[in-house]
Structure 1
């Protein structure tokens, strides 16, 4: 409990007056992060044994975002410094505290703070830089930062680049105000915020207002959709040695034409076929006439654009039934067409 109180007191000490007076909610309350770091050492950095070369390391941080504009964090990292001679490489710890100022309530921020670095010798640094948390999911963020570290006492400046992964938690919708309000946000459960369209996402985070009731929504209150494949098929039979359409007003034809009108980006190929009676050459031409007759029907009677319809004749090469009887011959005298597309379907709760 004492350690927790010390941490909170340290973080509050970094908050400017404008943070205390902020009136809007943070996007999230706190985060923990791990990161890797490349550290560029100033050539003038003093070392009693050898000159330092560049360093790399790993670290962790714990941060709190008190308002949309202001936050603070504690940071620790373990750095491995190479020496120019290769004989006096050093490992050392750096730890400190930063205040963070966010732009336009987004996740890009400027930061500044104090660091203590122990490499056998102690360095006390003032640092400042620019960073951003990039959304990977609702709670996971990619962390990128660039920073400068200045030692006033020994007059040198180091630079660092960080890449890390943060997990955010504890977001709430209580408005910022006095320090006592901020303290209550850290120690008490968040109050229930307004949800005007009852979709489970608070108004201050809802990007899609007035979502229809019953819709399944994402973390920002917007309706979720799934893609569904829909299709329509057309099968027609012909009399022996004929390409005349027996029933051009059949419900099957109307349904097929309605589907193509409902989905104007679709195209279709009409396949013509014949029975096994007759010569290959004659049946090939007959199958092409059958496919062309159906195309003409769809274009002239149902106003489907001719550019959306292609035809092909397969003659007797693709029979449904190879038997030599009237039932097989009748089944093979046909056309077949199928069209399909995908459409967005709302997900419901």
Structure 2
């Protein structure tokens, strides 16, 4: 196939009248297979001594596979074949080339319906001289630029130019190309939903404003859209809250002149610890007490020790932080029963625990 013939193929492909080309939109992503014809100007590599450096200008036929990942990025994989002649000796050469590259496309920019692109890639080329058996391989990088347009929903045409730089000798060849591709695996933007309005003689029904949570405040004005059912709300649709005090009391009794907390009171202490975990902002005051046996000074120290013993149980057994516990010794000053009987004195040997704090509770209608 002569050089003039290849120039004609490329020129015709690039000069297809715009009236013939359908103005189809490009898919968001797709894959394609196609063929490409090109004309290689190898004048820059003229007479450099090796097979590939001494080729005359030639035509090249390629098979392309492309994948468009998104409107801006695509990949090109190409295998091509040519039968050039050496420039000085006229020997026939078989050439196989394999190329892999990436392309960049402007998402919506067009030139008269054509989509421009630019690319960068790598080529591996094998040359074999028919008569001598000589061969050579080359590695090259290329830059390309061109235009694409949809012929229909399935076919695409493109044309452009590449500059290929051979990495070992550093010469640059120009390549003018044009091709056509068949598209498959196409993805398009979702079509916008269209509302169908049916003609009617009746007056349009006016829908009342929505009140999704049923609190009496419409959604457009509701700043708290998930109010619990039955809650009393303000004008913004937010539940009204009431601050309440936490009050829990515990009695732990002790044996005469003892500070050990008996196991039988552990369940009651655990209930108190559960309340403190439920209300993490609460605090506890442990008040130690004694009966009237012994001196007032001794009883004061004994009552403080009993309060500290209950504190250790809360910390070690139920993981309540010491920062939330206060203790005090009241001695024999606050009996709750008569010290004249054994039963009364037993009741007076005790620790009282008072949990205090505040929490907010939603007010119901």
Shorter-chain TM-score category? 0.3 to 0.5
Bigger radius of gyration among the two: 2
TM-score by length of 1: 0.43
Q: TM-score w.r.t. structure 2 length?
A: 0.41
